[in-house]
Structures are given as structure tokens and as C-alpha cells.
Amino acid sequence: MSPNLTGADGLMLLLYFFFVGAVGYSVKAFIKTSDDFLLAGRAIPAWVGGLALAGVGLGGEQIIAMGALGAHYGFEGAQFFGIGAIPAMLFAGLFMMPLYYGSKARSAPEYLRLRFDAKTRGVYACAFAAMAVFGSGIALYVVARIVEELHIFDEIFYVRGWSTHAILPIALVLPALLVLMIVLFGGLTGAMYGQVLQFFLIVAGILPAVVVGLRNAGGWNGLKKALPGYMHEWQGVAHGGAHSMGLGAVGLCLGLGVALGGAAWCVDFRVLQAAFAAKSREAARRVPLLAAIPMLFLPLLLVLPGLLAVSLPTPHTTNMVTIQHGEIIHNIHFASPAAAAGKGIVPAKANPVTGKPLRDASGQAILNYDMATPKLLAHFLPAGVLGLALAALLAGLMSGVAAGVTAFNSVFTRDIYQAWIRKDAEDGHYLAVARWATVGAVLAAIGVGFAAMYFGDALGALALAFSFVNAPLFATFLLGMFWKRTTGHGAFAGLLAGLAAAVAHFGLTLPVGAQPGLHGGWFAVLHRYPSDLAQSAWTAILAFAVNLIVTAVVSLFTKARADEELVGLVYALMPARKRAQKSWLKRPETLAAAILIAAVALNIFLA
């Protein structure tokens, strides 16, 4: 039942590697200074930045995770876009980017230094650098694991007598080396233009499987008829169904929409660097707005594969007996125990020793939802097109990894090395440091990827770190940008208090059915959440709220900076800019309003 790559598939992969590498190499001649390497010379057009930012949102781990959400929770997973992404992107474009760009900061940590002080900048810079490497390593591991479990390259390795145990490390290392080549040659410019190419490739690779799968299901109505019982479980928020995310209205709005969504799209420099590299302040405002347009349609591309995967017949081992010319012939169609215990073509997780499906305390098979999208691609795409789909998965992987690497080398060079180690070196020295930081980031990401092989829920660990670090940071940025009374001491105390609150909450709670450990419950179990997502959302809400309160209280008892020192750093003190008269149809606010209306309409339709 495993797909096999044909020569056409292999050619498709080789062409992808060639063109992505050529994009990075082609801009090598334009890299003259450290700002050219780290910030693309601040010459990127808004449309390139918007597509690059959307490409970062289509990282390999996001492709896998959104398909898993679709299979597990139905179209509730689409709320990660309609509530968790689009409003935050619009807010970042309209209100935050004018301050980021207008302050002349070259990174988000540098804005914190300009607005507050060096210690607040240092906390964010170190935490972000660690998270960027960690996230890149997890992305490498996730897609390498998918390649291994699909058994796509097994036949190639068997024919050549190679051990199939080498597939996982090779699938992890080779894309990392390609990312290293792209960033070393082209810097942020090469990475961003590569992300634009990868965005279109991802759409071209996944869309055919979605269209064929939906047609095979009999269209939208056919899909709903194929999943009557399962859809009832998905809609079990009010009925206590097993597949409900269990967030509720407050969890969705505050957790997904504010704490997690704002943290992801308003303060994460891995995402925002596309806007920081824009050629003008107006272009920087438009980058998140333009990126939000394709986000309107991504639920149909990324979440729908999960529903299609669970709608298909579950494979079982069958034995068809026929008689031909007096001979009895047995045609055996073999399905592994994990596949037979799954739902549709989503298999159960298997014991690595026995091969038998893993089961929870109630005896139900634990499904491997991460395989929903990869299994759908392998199921519906014919030879010759499967290579395009695999290239799309690799494109998503390398888009996210490249974003993490370029963000790391910028933060390390400007906010750690130049700020704390050597402040007055020549620009050529910083350019060399940035290149070496790129090498170090890729090697560290590979190391994280190999370490992830020995742990269970790698994506869960990434979400945990995100809730701990980025959610409280969003509160710091909000107060700093929109309340001029906020002080550096208040921001620093709030960050520490938010982190402590997140650790305490996670250490005292667990999702239903989980054991103390990676999922929490380190100190005691005072409360159980319906799902990991609900626990992460409420962890983020608490960290955000505590940071907000502590920062405000400490700021009231410490000395604030004079208004003259905050011009261009606080929204109320932005210098007036004379803009060319534009009709209301061409204003960013009009575009943002149209996108928001479309997002609301799409969420109502999917609901």
C-alpha cells in the first residue's frame, strides 16, 4: 500500500531543489553589507513580503498540524485562521508596523531596547533565539518523519541494498543543507524570494489532492453524508463530545484570538521580518494585510484534507478467492494492524516493537492524526504528481526553517553579539558573524531534529514553549506601544511574572487522558482540560493577563520616560506624516475592513 516514486516524481523533486537553490544563488551578488544580508537592504516590495509572510504561515509543521486538526476536530480547525490569524495580522499591519518601522529598529528586540531598556531587549533576544532554533529543528524532524512513515523511498533503498533506517536522518539533513546554502548565498532576500516560490508550489502540490478527494466524496454534500456520526462528535462542544477542542467562546476569543494569535503574528520576529524588510513604511503596513488575503482560503487547502482522510473507507486485510483454469488463486490485500484500527486512511499510532496499535485507557485506538494530509496526498495523487506533492511538503518545511534561520542570525548578530559582545566593529565583521550564525543555527536545528527522535510529542513541546514565551511578550508590546506610562522596569517584571504564571498553570493542569510529564501536571493535577489545545490556550491567557497586570502596576510605581524620548515609539506620539491623498478604496484601512468581513463570512459558512 506504500506509494512508489517514479522517474517523473524524482525529476520533479530535482527541479524543485534546483530552482530554490538558483533563487538563493542569483541574489548573491547583491549582498554587500550586513543590512543587505540580514534585512534584504530594506528594499522588498510589499507584494513579495506579503507572499513570503504567507509562505512562512505555510510551514511544513503547519501543513501537517492543520490537516491533523481537520481530522481530529473537523472545521473547528479553521478557527485558527479566522480567529487566530487574520485579525492579528490586520492589527499588526494597521497599528504595530508603523511603530516597528518608524522607530528604525532592525528587529523586534531592538524595538524593545528603544522603547524600554537593554535588559528587556536581552530577555526577548535570548528567548527568541532559542525558540527559533528549536522550532526549525522540530520542523525538520516532523517532515522527515512523514517521509519515513509514507515509505516513499523504501524501494529505492531496498534496490540499492541500503538500510531503510537511514531514510529518516537523510530526509532531515538534506533539506537543512539546502536551506543553509540558500541563506548563506542570498541572505534574507534569497530566503524571501524562495518563500514566494514555495508558496505557489505548496498550493500547486496540495490543491489537486483536495479537488480529487472532494470529487471522489461526491462534493460538499457527499462529504457531509460520509461523516454523519463523526461530524456529530465534532459538533460536541455543547454535548461533551470527545472531539471537541473544549475552548469555549472565552478560550477562542482570548486564547486563540488574542494571546496565541497576537503572539504569533504581532511579535514573532520570525514572521515579522518580512515586513521589517519592506522598502517603505507604507509597504511595511501592507505586508501583513496582503498576507492575510491568501489566509482566507487556506482552511480549504489545509484543514479540508483532514476531513477527506477520515471520510475514506478504513483499510482491512481481505482475501479474495478466485478460480482460474481450475486453479484456486488467493488475492490477499494486506493492511497493517495500525491501519485497520484507524479511521478512514488515518492510521492508529503503532507500538514500534510489536507493530500493534496503541490504545488509551478506555481501549480506543490512539489515532496518528499527523498522517492525515500525507496519507491523502499519497492516496489520490498518481505517479508523476506525487513528486509535486512531496516537493510541496518539503517547500513548506524549508520555508519555515529558512524563516527561523534568518530570524536567528539577525537577532544573534544585532541584539546579542553587537549589543553585548562587540559594539564598534566594522560592518564586514558583522556580515561574517551573520554568516557564521547561519551555519550555527542550521547545525543546531539538525541537532534538535535528531534529539526529537527520542521524544514523543515534539509539536506539543513547541506549542508549550510558544505559550510560555510569546504570549506574555505580546502583553509587553501592547502596553509599550499604546500606553506611554509603561516603564522598562515594569516590562521586565511583567515578562518574568508572565513566564512564572505559565509554568505554574501548566504544572498544575493536565489534558483529559494524559499522564504528568510533557503535557503538564508537574506539581499536582488541580484541573483537567478537554484537550491539549484548551490547556495551551488557557496557559497563554494566564501568562498574557499576569504580564499585563504586573507590568501596569510596576510601571505606576516607577519613573516613566519623558514624552520627547518616546516620539515614534508610542502610538499616541507618532510624528505626523504628510501622505498623498488617496481615495478610500486605496487605503489600508479599507483593505483591512474587506478582509475582516470576508473572514467573518467564511467562518460562518464553515460553521
Spatial CA neighbour of 48 closest among 287, 281, 392: 287
How far is CA 299 from each of CA 223, 309, 602, rounded to the nearest angstrom?
16, 15, 10
Quick check: helix, strand or coil at residue 454?
coil
The reported pLDDT for the residue numbered 237 is 41
The reported pLDDT for the residue numbered 1 is 40
- pLDDT tens sequence across 378-418: 888 776 677 787 788 777 778 888 889 999 999 999 999 99
**At CA 184, angle to CA 179 and CA 190, rounded to 5?**
70
**What is the overall mean pLDDT for the chain?**
83
Reported as a pLDDT band with limits 50, 70 and 90, residue 476 is very high
Query: Is pLDDT at 74 greater than 90 in this prediction?
Result: no
Determine which helix (DSSP H) or strand (DSSP E) holds 375, and give its type and residue range.
helix 372-380
Rounded to 10°, the helix 386-410/167-216 angle is 120
The reported pLDDT for the residue numbered 238 is 36
The number of beta carbons lying within 10 Å of the beta carbon of residue 501 is: 23
The reported pLDDT for the residue numbered 236 is 44
Helices (H) and strands (E) in the chain, counts: 27, 4
Q: What percent of the chain has pLDDT over 90?
A: 31
Query: Is pLDDT at 426 greater than 50 in this prediction?
Result: yes
- pLDDT tens sequence across 298-344: 888 888 888 888 888 888 776 666 676 667 776 766 777 777 778 88
Q: Cell numbers of 519, please?
A: 503535557
The reported pLDDT for the residue numbered 283 is 92
The reported pLDDT for the residue numbered 415 is 94
Q: Beta strands of 269-404 (E only): which ranges?
A: 318-324, 327-333
Reported as a pLDDT band with limits 50, 70 and 90, residue 234 is very low
- pLDDT tens sequence across 157-176: 777 888 878 888 888 898 89
Residue 319 near residue 335, CB atoms below 8 Å: no
Quick check: helix, strand or coil at residue 26?
helix
- Least confident interval from 52-56, 58-62, 566-570: 58-62
Highest-confidence segment of 165-169, 218-222, 566-570: 566-570
Q: Cell numbers of 23, please?
A: 533563487
The reported pLDDT for the residue numbered 242 is 39
- pLDDT tens sequence across 123-144: 889 989 998 898 888 888 887 8
Q: Beta strands of 251-326 (E only): which ranges?
A: 318-324
